[in-house]
Amino acid sequence: MDQAWLVPVAIVFGFVLGAGSAAVFVAAHRRGQRAVAVVTPTVPEGADEVIDSLESAGIVLDASNNVLKASTGALAFGLVWNQALVHPELVHLVDQVRRDGEPIARELHLSRGPFGEASIHVFVRIARLGTRFVLVLAEDRTEAYRLDEVRRDFVANISHELKTPIGAVGLLAEALELAADEPHEVKRFAKRLSIEADRLAKTTHEIIELSRLQATDVLHDASTVDVDTVIAQALDRNRVAADKHAIALVSGGDAGTEVYGDEALLVTAVHNLIANAIQYSPDNSRIGIGVTHTDGVVEIAVTDQGVGIPEAERDRVFERFFRVDSARSRNTGGTGLGLAIVKHVVQNHGGDVRVWSHQGSGSTFTIRLPESSRTSAATITTTTGATT
């Protein structure tokens, strides 16, 4: 396993921190508990610049495993939350290094955040620096693991869904040729051809988007995101479609909440939920978009008054190309990929998405995301007795 990337980092830390100081790259979390902050020394002079220059994940911990400094990579991978490490597996390795004094290099399969099904593969190198600190370097290798799976999925998606519109385009082209002397028929076939071409373009775009979400680390350039801004942009994208059917879009709830991630992707996820609600709602109805913030979790709920989802099908709504009402979905231009994209966006942010529905009374889709710890990549200073 190639570890050459660790050498220059270790040398730099040797010069910057000196023999009596240390730094830590890590991620950790006490499940069901909040980290209790204690007085810790600040990051040694020069360490900030070293950590900020790293593209890989990195964290600085003190002797009590409190996070003093976290790189953007560590935050984007979901390794740090609320000034504490997220994963017990990493805490265990750090404790082992403290006991034995020997460095550890290991590949780990970790969850992406405090809840949800998404995961990452990382190669970590953990070593003591001095007597008080531990250094942990984490390199993301998730993309290599996903590559084969994405290739298989992409081929399956193409063969499953694109053959229908491609076949329709071919048949309509033949019909146009045969109806060349009948202007009325030419107009009718041309209109159908345009609809199928648009559907083909939309489906292709969403297949590519879904494959990208599965294949790459889309949160490489993540930052703190204002949830109010996400909701506002998603609503704006759906105003025209809602007005066409006299559907009222109403938003409310806790204002000023923040999450850590990619704003454009989160807007896409919320937009897809609202578009889905419009698609399955009757005219002159109402769709509510609410935000709540409880115990470090931000929830974005989209509630409609539509047809609802049969109980037997609720577990399948996030599958690719699954449609509750295939005829209705195709008539409105649905591809069956919107909710699958929502699921992958949310999972890549360390969260999950849930559905509640009662047939004939409507549905509620809820995105759950960890609240931003507001630490970004800046030095974290704690105070005695405070709870982070």
- Say if residue 39's pLDDT is above 70: no
253 and 380 part of one domain: yes
CATH assignment at residue 26: 3.30.450.20
Structural domain contains residue 291: yes
186 and 281 part of one domain: no
> How confident is the model over 203-240, as pLDDT tens digits?
777 777 766 666 555 566 678 999 999 999 999 999 99
CATH assignment at residue 359: 3.30.565.10
Q: Which of 140, 165, 180 is the last residue of a domain?
A: 140
Share of the chain above pLDDT 90, in %: 23
Q: Which of 140, 175, 197 is the last residue of a domain?
A: 140
Q: Which domain holds residue 339?
A: 220-388
Q: Which of 167, 188, 216 is the last residue of a domain?
A: 216
290 and 338 part of one domain: yes
User: Of 4 and 240, which is predicted with more confidence?
Assistant: 240
Give the per-residue pLDDT at 328. Answer: 47
Beta strands per DSSP E along 150-285: 223-226, 248-253, 258-261
Q: Once rounded to an integer, what is the mean pLDDT over residues 300-328?
A: 77
259 and 320 part of one domain: yes
Q: Once rounded to an integer, what is the mean pLDDT over residues 71-87?
A: 81
236 and 296 part of one domain: yes
Residue 32: both structure tokens together:
């069901």
- Say if residue 311's pLDDT is above 80: yes
200 and 225 part of one domain: no
DSSP 285: -
171 and 225 part of one domain: no
Residue 323: both structure tokens together:
């449609």
358 and 247 part of one domain: yes
- Asked whether the beta carbons of 201 and 136 are under 8 A apart, the reply is no
Structural domain contains residue 80: yes
> How confident is the model over 366-388, as pLDDT tens digits?
999 999 865 333 333 333 233 32
Domain count, the chain: 3
User: Of 238 and 181, which is predicted with more confidence?
Assistant: 238
Give the per-residue pLDDT at 70. Answer: 79
Q: What is the DSSP string of 108-140?
A: EEEESSSSSS-EEEEEEEEEEETTTEEEEEEEE
Structural domain contains residue 1: no
Give the per-residue pLDDT at 43. Answer: 61
